[in-house]
Structure 1
Amino acid sequence: MSAATIVQRLGGFAAVARDRGVGKELRGDAARRVLDVLGNSIAAQRTPAAATVRAMIAEWGGTPRATALGLAGRYPEGSAALLGGTLAHALDFDDTHLPSVLHPSASVVPTALAVAEAVGASGAALLDAVAVGVEITVRLGMAGYDETLGNSMFFERGLHATAICGTLGAAAAAAMLYRLDADGIAHALGIAASMGSGLLEANRTGGTVKRVHCGWAAHAAVTAASLARHGMTGPPTVIEGRFGLLQAFCGERAELSAITAGLGEAWELPGIFFKPYPCNHFTHAGIDAALRLRARGVTADDVIRLELGAPTPVLRTIGEPLAAKRRPESGYHAAFSGPYTVAAALLGGGGLGVFHEDFTDAAARDPRRLALAATVDCVPDAHCDKIFPRQFPAILTAELRDGRSLIERVDVNRGGPGNPLSPEELATKFRLNTADILTTADDVSETVYRLADLDDLDALLTLLRTPPH
């Protein structure tokens, strides 16, 4: 008998996890991912991207099977997942895995929620599917990480690994909830590999299409699992084959062993970072450094010049082209700007340091922020290069009018295993995300943390359908 291919091993892993459960601790972590995604999604309901996708799926119509946030009634699970994934990633507040540099929960959780509702799955089944889907997503992302280069080959080629790998991980979650066997889950993965896509150019020069990347991944995932359920098959060597996913997206530099090493025993899931700030994760260490300067008494009026040192690959996202990053064209693009985020933090942002109010279009036009951002130079830093991408470090140097030069270096990102957000901070993030939108925030939190004991999702979905106030 020939050895199992990678996708067959992933299908077997998912089937076993579904049948046996992933255990209390991993279900607890999956519940935190669900709560984080729901908070981010509720906060994003007022974004133009949300309105666009809601209008489109309302036009599509279809069999009512799943809840679509912000819309009355129900929709096909593929449509609900499309909206959910768009909302989950729209504010760039979703979790991050390092060093794969992708955001796994934004595609997986909305897919799992939509399919679980459609089939009447239990809370425990939902959490098992989320745990497995996220794990597969980040392991595929890790296969694209090049140790010598110190960066993801997906990222080097301008490809959005979050959407590409997330399509497969979410398809596995959907297939588990559809009760496909190991072969069926493998076929869902094989089909999904032809559907994942996403380009990162919008991070550099504008456009809002990136906001729908995770939504489309979720929609494609439901489609792939549904096609497998109805008999379509995928190639068994879709991951490692000559014309497979990794060769197509990463070339010869992919590391196949990262996908299956310790599969089912050593889980990546618990080490995935929660974001404290609703902006590109590459900007976070610079924000932390600016907050530290603020705590030392530095004000915007004290500053002559700021220098933001960061890993070389990061600068393509948060520092180039410099003129555009110093004057972002909108609040959305401000979330991908090193100069702007440093300025916002130093001037005094909201929430846990900076928050949604710092990334409105009006905030991005604020003369004080723009004047301070204009003093920020973005430069590569050799020490940061050594740490990246296992952390997203930064060093911020402030030249002050009194002649002093102050330095703050941040090597360990807030929100990860080395500097975690406390349960209270995660609860604060959820409350702030849902303030003035959801009247049942505390009840939602409590229900999400009880999901493992619930026979279905009705209690949670009833709370989420409560009209905003």
Structure 2
Amino acid sequence: CGVFAAAAVASRMLGLGGAQTAHAFGTAGSMAGGLMAAQEGAMVKRVHAGRAAQAGVYAALLARRGFTGIENVLEIPFGGFYHAMSERYVPDFVTAGLGEKWETLLVGFKPYATAGAIHASLAALDGIMGENELGANNIERIDVRCTTYCCKHVAWRYEPRGVAAAQLNMFYALSAMAIDRAAMIEQFDEQRLADPRLLAFMPRIHVEPDPAFDALGHAFRYALRMMVACRDGRSFERQSLHRPGTPDNPLSASRIEAKFRLLAGRVLPGGAVDEIVTTVSRLERLDDVKQLSALLVPAR
């Protein structure tokens, strides 16, 4: 559905009227794509977001020149977007709070370099190990009870088929957290994907869906309970209803900044990273946002 957001923004920036914007949506809908099956190792996963943005802008540019799209692309019964996605769609959900509720204020941040559906389990394991001074060798078994959504999305049998496969797999990510006490860039390096230590730890992890979490609804799709059993007989448990980084379980400003510095520092000099952080802190007071965008370009 990213093409529709991109088409909407591009249409607004181009000053298109209602009819032209509808045609932009109709064209964008015909170019919608991106299948989550790519998570099991395909490099095309990296293209999804950019391709959606490209298609939305392209659709708006075509509409400006009179190109027509499917006028009722969302709700048309045969071949429409809603019908293609679900037999039980709720159109009113799309427009609920329109002009009053801004979804951009609900955008989350990812503390780990994995799919968001794994973050609650990573935070739980990190917390249990840190609070009880556990190492990977102390752990006999990890049991995760989560939603059916998370099970299907990230708890599939891991095979070292590429970075994307590791980043979207709970068994790999939890093994990395147990052994490295981290799940960031280094843990998803190509050289680590078939690490014997990680592969050997995975059988200790057991993931099952919990109907009680499913019953909480979509807003609690990342809810889980983790039980860690140790070889010395001790056991620990932790439950979370929201993954870290969401509005219901936000990250601290310092943690967000630390992640930015870690990632940006790999492509920008330290001075530039510092300047970006300072500029963002006074973003609302800038005379021109180009002051920020100019800092984001790596020196050649």
Q: Does 1:190 align with 2:26?
A: yes
- Which whole-Å deviations, capped at 9, do the CAs of 1:137-163 have from their partners, x for residues lacking one? xxxxxxxxxxxxxxxxxxxxxxxxxxx
Instruction: Give the deviation of 1:451 after TM superposition.
Output: 5.2
Q: Which residue of the partner structure matches residue 441 of structure 1?
A: 273
- Contact 1:289 1:394 (8 Å CA) reproduced: no
Q: Distance in 1 between matches of 2:108 and 2:42?
A: 26
Secondary structure (helix, strand or coil) at the match of 2:268 reads coil
- State which drifts further: 179-188 or 370-379: 179-188
Q: Which residue of the partner structure matches residue 313 of structure 1?
A: 149
Unaligned runs of 5+ in 1: 1-164
Q: Distance in 1 between matches of 2:225 and 2:106?
A: 24
What is the total number of aligned residue pairs between the two structures?
Answer: 295
Q: Which residue of the partner structure matches residue 23 of structure 1?
A: none
Q: Distance in 1 between matches of 2:173 and 2:217?
A: 20
- Which whole-Å deviations, capped at 9, do the CAs of 1:212-248 have from their partners, x for residues lacking one? 1111111111110110111113333221222321122
Q: Distance in 1 between matches of 2:195 and 2:10?
A: 44
Unaligned runs of 5+ in 2: none
Secondary structure (helix, strand or coil) at the match of 1:387 reads coil
Q: Distance in 2 between matches of 1:182 and 1:456?
A: 29
Q: Which residue of the partner structure matches residue 272 of structure 1?
A: 107
**Partner AA of 1:306 in structure 2:** I
- Contact 1:343 1:372 (8 Å CA) reproduced: yes
- Which whole-Å deviations, capped at 9, do the CAs of 1:343-367 have from their partners, x for residues lacking one? 22222334xxx21111112222222
Q: 1:423 aligns with which of 237, 240, 253?
A: 253
Q: 2:195 aligns with which of 345, 366, 371?
A: 366
Instruction: Give the deviation of 1:301 after TM superposition.
Output: 0.8
**Partner AA of 1:192 in structure 2:** A
- Which whole-Å deviations, capped at 9, do the CAs of 1:84-139 have from their partners, x for residues lacking one? xxxxxxxxxxxxxxxxxxxxxxxxxxxxxxxxxxxxxxxxxxxxxxxxxxxxxxxx
- The equivalences for 1:147-296 within 5 A come to 165-203=1-39, 205-243=40-78, 244-251=80-87, 253-295=88-130, 296=132
- Contact 2:126 2:181 (8 Å CA) reproduced: no
Q: Distance in 1 between matches of 2:139 and 2:70?
A: 59
Instruction: Give the deviation of 1:186 after TM superposition.
Output: 2.7
Instruction: Give the deviation of 1:454 after TM superposition.
Output: 5.2
Q: Which residue of the partner structure matches residue 397 of structure 1?
A: 227
- Contact 1:447 1:460 (8 Å CA) reproduced: yes
Secondary structure (helix, strand or coil) at the match of 1:399 reads strand
- Contact 1:171 1:222 (8 Å CA) reproduced: yes
The two structures have a TM-score, normalised by structure 2, of 0.90
Q: Which residue of the partner structure matches residue 262 of structure 2?
A: 432
Instruction: Give the deviation of 1:457 after TM superposition.
Output: 4.9
Secondary structure (helix, strand or coil) at the match of 1:377 reads strand
Q: Which residue of the partner structure matches residue 157 of structure 1?
A: none
Q: 1:411 aligns with which of 237, 241, 248?
A: 241
Q: Distance in 1 between matches of 2:280 and 2:71?
A: 36
Q: Distance in 1 between matches of 2:148 and 2:3?
A: 28
Show structure 1 runs of 4+ deviating over 6 A.
none
Percent sequence identity is 34
Q: Please, what is the CA RMSD of the aligned residues?
A: 2.1
Secondary structure (helix, strand or coil) at the match of 1:398 reads strand
